[in-house]
Amino acid sequence: MRLTGADILMECLLEQDVEVIFGYPGGTILNVYDALVKYRGRIRHYLTAHEQGASHAADGYARSTGKVGVAFSTSGPGATNLTTGVATAYMDSSPVVFISCNVAENLIGKDSFQEVDSTGIMLPITKSNFQITDVNKLADTVRKAFAIARSGRPGPVFIDILKNVTAEEAEYEFIPRSEHKKTGVLQTLYERNMADFKIPSIDEEDIDKLVEMIGESEKPMLICGGGVVRARAHEEFNKFCNLVDAPTAITVMGGGGMQGRNPHTTGMIGMHGSQASNMACDNCDLLIAVGCRFSDRVALDPSTFAKQAKIVHIDIDRSEINKNVMTDHHIIGDAKEVLKMLNERLTQQEHPEWKEFVFSYPTETVYEEGGDTLTPKQVCDTIARLMPQDTIVATDVGQHQMWAIQHFHFDYPGQLITSGGFGTMGFGLGAAIGAKVGNPDKMVIHIAGDGSFRMNCNELCTEQYYGIPVITFVFDNKTLGMVRQWQNLIYKKNFSETTLTDRGPDFVKLAEAYGLRGWRVNNQKDLEAAILEAMECGKGCVIDCVLDIDEMVRPMVGGGSHITDFMKI
């Protein structure tokens, strides 16, 4: 069958069972948007307010559903607007295929209108990227891109298609996804035994060794990282945690990697980790980290991190081993498979004294009850009490993000959607929209700070037009809270450019301007009423929760400090 490049692209997306695309059209991608109309019944396109919103929406969709997200953009500024979203997906290993078109072949390299070297820009922030200059290679490259995005340690892939390629015709033959690895470039990649496509089978000796180490350990500790979430290994991890009977810390990216209310959880670990987590880490004799990369927010000081412990690292990506923290033992493999093998071999362990020691420290921060005003914990607790337990939470970045992760309990992968690695302010609204599109039956909320929300609140128009009922909670403390906290503690209260008092917009009026509903709440009673009404109305809503400007995220350990050196706050 002879088709144009644009049609081939659409057919290839159908091969991958893509149902949803987030994007923004423009000059060079016009042929693709032209073809989109023909495929409207099978592929839904969501026009966002900004390409960055589209990139976060595709990311949120991918994280919440486990499928590959897709975002479209045009050349030049379209592609550069995607980059923040691409880097966000890259740092958090989220499988998204970003597709952009570039100027036609006769204009490439001539500094043409809206031309930029987009593959060059995307190089450091994608797992792989391709520029397609030959329509005959289009289908093959798209298949390869999707396979790369979802295989091994997932990640974003960027495809840049020249405009003339989308108009030219080539022979296209439908190939079901299961057959892709037997054709074209993918076949060669499989034959080459690329680690991503053919993960070496898990070494039984390594597993036995770890089982032995667990048996010998008196004070074991586990860390549940983002790899558990990506592998959807929450059930296996939960069972593993119960079998080892070990205190278990959850990283920011690990939220949902195990039952949030499992009595073994000590909460978050690291800079804003609970005292229980950080004390356990400092005192354990065996630390098993699953799918985590010991980032500087967890292993604050790598040289003294878990200094009494033998460190065991389970990860799918070999290049993570010994990258930040030197380990004593490692297992390479998919978290789900590794944990299954471990669970089969492990006998029930008991560590009552060790647990008693660890849980003598608080797992959750106690905040003073605000009298007339709201406290962050109150807001989180009220949301948790009134909303369904499986509500998906998308956050922006800052204090509200830490509060949300500290106080909510996530039970399944994709329930928490947050930019942990890249720390992208403005990520939450787009991501929440993507999550709601992917999970129409679940309640989706967006936790934002007033600073973060201001960044990409333009996506409220996407919510309104497509009727996507995301409820946004703005933790409105009239400041860039996390920066203010650092200024407060480290910069001698020199609050340079962080105070937002007297700055617009009025978030309630803003919501209304977009045709949505908004409330401003100062106390728990009003908050409860607003939540109930928001859940009822079935529209996108903004609830502006007024907080004190000096609220802090506690506890806190300074960057690079020893993990138990809690600051006096």
Closest listed residue to residue 439, CA positions, set 92, 44, 58, 61:
61
Place of tokens 């020893």: 562
Q: Give yes or no: 163 in active site.
A: yes
Catalytic residue among 19, 67, 105, 114: 114
- Smallest separation, CB 93 to another protein (Å): 12
Contact 511, 517 (CB under 8 A): yes
Q: Edge-to-edge strands of the sheet including 310-315? A: 265-268, 248-250, 220-224, 286-290, 310-315, 329-332
Residue list 107-126, contact with another protein (CB under 8 A): 119-120, 123-124
The answer to whether residue 310 forms part of the interface with another protein (CB under 8 A) is yes
Contact 51, 73 (CB under 8 A): yes
Q: How many residues does the chain have?
A: 569
- Smallest separation, CB 321 to another protein (Å): 8
Closest to another protein by CB, 140 or 551: 140
User: What does the block give as tokens for 398?
Assistant: 């800052």
The answer to whether residue 290 forms part of the interface with another protein (CB under 8 A) is no
Distance CA 467, CA 269 (A): 38
Query: Cα–Cα distances in Å, from 444 out to 251, 255, 458, 459?
Result: 21, 16, 18, 15
- Smallest separation, CB 247 to another protein (Å): 23
The answer to whether residue 67 forms part of the interface with another protein (CB under 8 A) is no
Distance CA 430, CA 52 (A): 8
Q: Please enumerate in sequence order all residues whose Cβ is within 8 A of that of 366, keeping only pairs 6 or more positions apart, or say none.
A: none
How does DSSP classify residue 425? T
Closest to another protein by CB, 141 or 259: 141
- Smallest separation, CB 310 to another protein (Å): 7
For residue 555, say if its preceding peptide bond is cis, omega within 30 degrees of 0. yes
The answer to whether residue 307 forms part of the interface with another protein (CB under 8 A) is no
The answer to whether residue 319 forms part of the interface with another protein (CB under 8 A) is yes
Distance CA 322, CA 258 (A): 25
Q: Which stretch binds another protein (CB under 8 A): 223-231, 310-318, 422-430, 460-468?
A: 310-318
3-state SS, residue 461: helix
Neighbours of 188 (CB within 10 A): 10
Closest to another protein by CB, 79 or 511: 79
Closest to another protein by CB, 204 or 506: 204
On the CB side of 48, how many CA atoms lie within 13 Å of its CA? Answer: 31
Phi, psi of 166 (to 5 degrees): -70, -20
Among 106, 187, 308, 322, binds another protein (CB under 8 A): 322
How does DSSP classify residue 278? H
Closest to another protein by CB, 323 or 345: 323
The answer to whether residue 343 forms part of the interface with another protein (CB under 8 A) is no
Q: Which stretch binds another protein (CB under 8 A): 60-68, 312-320, 401-409, 469-477?
A: 312-320
Neighbours of 502 (CB within 10 A): 6
The answer to whether residue 409 forms part of the interface with another protein (CB under 8 A) is no
Q: Give yes or no: 364 in active site.
A: no
Q: Where are the beta strands (DSSP E) in 295-432?
A: 310-315, 329-332, 392-395, 416-417
The answer to whether residue 308 forms part of the interface with another protein (CB under 8 A) is no
The answer to whether residue 323 forms part of the interface with another protein (CB under 8 A) is yes
Catalytic residue among 11, 51, 115, 236: 51
Q: Which stretch binds another protein (CB under 8 A): 90-98, 200-208, 245-253, 521-529?
A: 200-208
Query: Cα–Cα distances in Å, from 271 out to 188, 217, 291, 305, 543?
Result: 44, 26, 19, 12, 29
3-state SS, residue 330: strand
- Smallest separation, CB 70 to another protein (Å): 20
Residue list 176-195, contact with another protein (CB under 8 A): 189, 192-195
Closest to another protein by CB, 19 or 134: 134
Residue list 125-164, contact with another protein (CB under 8 A): 128, 148
The answer to whether residue 523 forms part of the interface with another protein (CB under 8 A) is no
3-state SS, residue 347: coil
Catalytic residue among 127, 144, 163, 219: 163
Catalytic residue among 1, 113, 187, 533: 113
Q: What angle do CA 544, 549, 553 make, to 5 degrees?
A: 95
Strand partners, 129: 158
Q: Give yes or no: 51 in active site.
A: yes
Closest listed residue to residue 480, CA positions, set 408, 397, 421:
397
Number of residues that bind another protein (CB under 8 A): 29
- Smallest separation, CB 123 to another protein (Å): 6
Closest to another protein by CB, 124 or 371: 124
- Smallest separation, CB 7 to another protein (Å): 26
Task: Give the amino acid at 137.
Answer: K
The answer to whether residue 198 forms part of the interface with another protein (CB under 8 A) is yes
In the complex, the residues that contact another protein under the rule CB under 8 A are 119-120, 123-124, 128, 148, 189, 192-196, 198, 200, 205-206, 209, 310, 317-319, 321-323, 326, 328-330, 332
Positions annotated as catalytic residues are: 51, 113-114, 163, 482
